[in-house]
Amino acid sequence: MLKENKMGVMPIGKLLFTMALPLALSMLVQALYNIIDSVFVSQISDTNNDALTAVGLAFPVQNIMIGIASGISVGVNALMSRSLGEKDLKQVNTVAMNGLFLTMLGMILTALFGIFCAESFMRSQSSNEAVVEYGVTYIRIITIASFGIFGEVLLERLLQATGRTTYTLYTQGVGAVINIILDPIFIFGWGPIPRMEVAGAAVATVIGQIIAFLMAIYFNLRRNKEVSFVFRGFHPSGKAIGRILGIGIPSVIMVAIGSLMYYCFNLVLGGMGTEGEVGMTVFGAYYKLQSFIFMPIFGMSNAVLAITAYNYGARKPQRIMKTIKLGAVTASAIMLVGVVLFELFPEFLLGFFNPDDDMLRVGVPAMRILCLPFIMAGACIIFGNVFQALGKSVYSMITSIARQLVVLIPAAYLLSLSGKVDLVWLSYPIAEVFSLVLSIWMMISVYRKKIKPLYNSSCN
């Protein structure tokens, strides 16, 4: 008989803390190396911000790549956790193997995009040849060598699905530290290693990802006993793939929507002349900085997803509700800290990116406005992962589309007609208020349809 997993018996407060802390710490390290990566890139030139702007404009591609990997992994994570709750080990292994198959397809598509579409993507956003050249180089390196991040994300989610989140801290932490160490060496050159500038930042990134991937392989093979990989005689299962994609595609779409929003927001700023061009650089720096606040929330929301999915499979509604409430409150509290930091120390935060006077003039008010919706965003992120855990991923997708495309971009465009960049940033809090109201309404619906009926059959 399969022993009860800790996700079904450990007190929720302790369980969420022990599962979320390693994930939050590992993602904090990830966010830290993203910031440090941009800090080093910003030092490439003292006369312009071309390199920093290029890496910022390349962000949607990098985000889509990670989004595809995460989307597949979200589907695998939710189905594996549910199968573990149902004590169905055969289904656990079927999901894991088909997840690997989908990951390989994702790697191929990403590499093809980098080879054939990188230049046209960059030219659609900038006419500055230096920015285009930097961006194309960066995109091609990270996409062609994407097997590191794809493999790392999937295998870490397999560890998360069985509650072994501590190992994800090791893999991501080591990968990030290696990236941080290699960044200045490859960007500026050291000894026999030539100065590679933006290309060096990309090379350091993929090396860190590959090492993290290799560590994730080791931990799954040696420590994750509930999952086994049997390659001999493996054939893709249409049913398993369909279930994974059914949960994962909305997640991919949500990331794609975020990347499209980022791209369109830069187009809005780019249409505002010189002031808008400075705004594009500020927006890129902001995205790096806000990841340091958001990444711990994403880590905790992944723990909420796994715990919720497991206890849904085990038909334990009280544990589901405790997880949701504690997750939302904790996320909002963490976000409050972020608001305080961005409101009180915007000059200090922007100072990491070698800013000139124009960047500070535009960036300081931008930081103070863009942080206003942080607290609302924390709760929305938790609700989104609960929707995915309970098989309602489409709700997350609807919320994301409404916030980022239906509200945010039109609001940004209308505000840009004033000719004042400071007003464009107000589109963010406007969109987040709408998103929170919609998320709460959908959460009430999910409770009535998915959670409340469990009380009638619960043994708790």
Q: Which of 75-84, 271-280, 439-448 has the lowest mean pLDDT?
A: 75-84
Query: According to the per-residue pLDDT averaged within each range, which of 49-58, 65-74, 408-417 is highest?
Result: 408-417
Mean pLDDT (the chain) is 86
Angle at 397 between CA 451 and CA 322, to 5 degrees: 30
Judge whether residue 460 has pLDDT over 60. Answer: no
Judge whether residue 82 has pLDDT over 70. Answer: yes
Collapse the DSSP code of 377 into the 3-class scheme (helix H, G, I; strand E, B; otherwise coil) and give the result: helix
Judge whether residue 1 has pLDDT over 60. Answer: no
Task: Read off the pLDDT of residues 295-340 as tens digits, 9 standing for 90 and up.
Answer: 888 888 888 988 888 888 888 888 889 999 999 999 999 999 999 9
CA distance 135 to 114: 11
What is the model's pLDDT at position 233? 64
pTM of the model: 0.78
Judge whether residue 374 has pLDDT over 90. Answer: yes
Judge whether residue 202 has pLDDT over 70. Answer: yes
CA distance 47 to 31: 27
What is the model's pLDDT at position 300? 86
Q: What average pLDDT score do residues 7-25 get?
A: 80
Collapse the DSSP code of 193 into the 3-class scheme (helix H, G, I; strand E, B; otherwise coil) and give the result: strand
CA distance 412 to 391: 33
Intra-chain end-to-end CA distance of the chain, in Å: 21
Judge whether residue 184 has pLDDT over 90. Answer: yes
What is the model's pLDDT at position 231? 64
Task: Read off the pLDDT of residues 387-422 as tens digits, 9 standing for 90 and up.
Answer: 988 888 788 888 888 999 999 999 999 999 999 999
Dihedral of CA atoms 167, 170, 175, 180 in degrees, nearest 10, equals 150
CA distance 389 to 411: 32
Q: Cβ(386)–Cβ(374) under 8 Å? A: no
Judge whether residue 459 has pLDDT over 60. Answer: no
Judge whether residue 55 has pLDDT over 60. Answer: yes
- For residue 13, which of 397, 432, 314, 304 has the smallest C-alpha distance? 304
What is the model's pLDDT at position 422? 94
Tell me what percent of the residues of the chain surpass a pLDDT of 90.
Answer: 39
Task: Read off the pLDDT of residues 224-274 as tens digits, 9 standing for 90 and up.
Answer: 766 666 666 677 888 888 888 888 887 787 778 888 999 999 999 988 888
What is the model's pLDDT at position 421? 94
Q: Cβ(89)–Cβ(224) under 8 Å? A: no
What is the model's pLDDT at position 4? 59
Which has the higher per-residue pLDDT, 237 or 117? 117
What is the model's pLDDT at position 456? 76
Domain residues of the chain, as ranges? Answer: 12-457
